[in-house]
Chain A
Amino acid sequence: MKLRKIQAAVAMAGIALLAALPALAQLKSPDDVKNSLKLLVMVSNDFKRQITNKNFNRVPHENMEYQEAADGLRSAIKDEPANFKSKAETRLKVAVAAYQKVSDMSSTTPDADKLMAEHAKAVKDMDALFDLFPADLRPDPNTPPPSHGAPKN
């Protein structure tokens, strides 16, 4: 009797574990999702570079590209289950709003330190979005850019 209870508990735990697996394993368009997430990181890094180089007038342009990358992700997950899609879109909306704030600040408060601090907050919001996706689809924000192949001057 006790053994049966243990077996049932293990079975229930297994079912619960399977249900908790990220929707990633069954994503309809994993390549599109992967590309979109990579684009979000790429544009986020461009934000950072423009702020570091004090090219504040370029920040709104990066923000426009961030929104386009966000649209790409929305499109890539459009056929996913409603529950997953809803969670992802909510977190994406938060991330997009955070980058919008950085963009808005770049014209009103062109201060590199303050913008970098706000950018760091935006990155956290983007990371929260990425947590919803399987690890193998998430880009590594610390990966250095690919070699360009151009000779040094």
Chain B
Amino acid sequence: MACNDEKDGNDPRAALHTRRWVLFQMLAVASAGWGCGRLRKPEQKVVDLQIGSDGDFLAFKPTMLTCPAGALVHLTFHHRGKIISARHNWVLTYPGKLDALVKDALDKDGVLAPGDPLVIAATPLCDKGQTVTIQFVAPKPGDYPFVCSTHPEDMQGVLHVTK
């Protein structure tokens, strides 16, 4: 091949140089794109949310939470009960899916399957006095209902996701 190159009047060193230059340019463009992408991506907010049961009563306290869309949410749920041994959790669903989730939870006696398509995020069930923490990325802006899967008709609230 080298002979043919010489025969065609091409300088093999120049060709090698060109190939290296093209490779360098490709790497440079790729690196620049990666770097610019990181710079352009807005810094993800981290939000801590606290919620619990209203003592032994079948209600959340507070019933309304707020966070910005795309934020990394650290949610802590505390079972504040002292008398009744009912277990509670915190389950977030999509706007318009509250009734479906309530029915699902009632049908399954409060035990929702992992990967349930109605569920955006959920804490494990916990006993009185226990605290659990989960993290998830806040979905797009909107009002997202949440329930306790073992008391879905009583324990309800809303996660208000802002822009």
Contact = CB atoms under 8 A, between A and B. Distances in A.
Nearest to A66: B84
A149 B158 contact: yes
Contacts of B83: 35-36, 39, 68-69, 71-72
A118 interface: no
B145 A150 contact: yes
B101 to A, nearest CB: 10
B99 interface: yes
Interface stretch (B12-20, B27-35, B51-59): B51-59
User: Number of contact residues on B: which range applies?
Assistant: 20 to 34
Interface string A48-83: 010000010000000011001101100000000000
A146 B154 CA distance: 9
Contacts of A71: 83
B157 A153 contact: no
Interface residues of A, number: 24
A151 B55 contact: no
Interface string B120-153: 0000000000000000000000010111000001
A144 interface: no
B80 to A, nearest CB: 12
B74 interface: no
A148 B56 CA distance: 16
B59 A146 contact: yes
The list of the 4 closest CB pairs from A to B, nearest first, reads: A72-B83, A148-B156, A149-B63, A150-B156
Interface of B: 55-59, 63-64, 82-86, 95-99, 106, 143, 145-147, 153-158
Interface of A: 35-36, 38-39, 42-43, 46, 49, 55, 64-65, 68-69, 71-72, 145-153
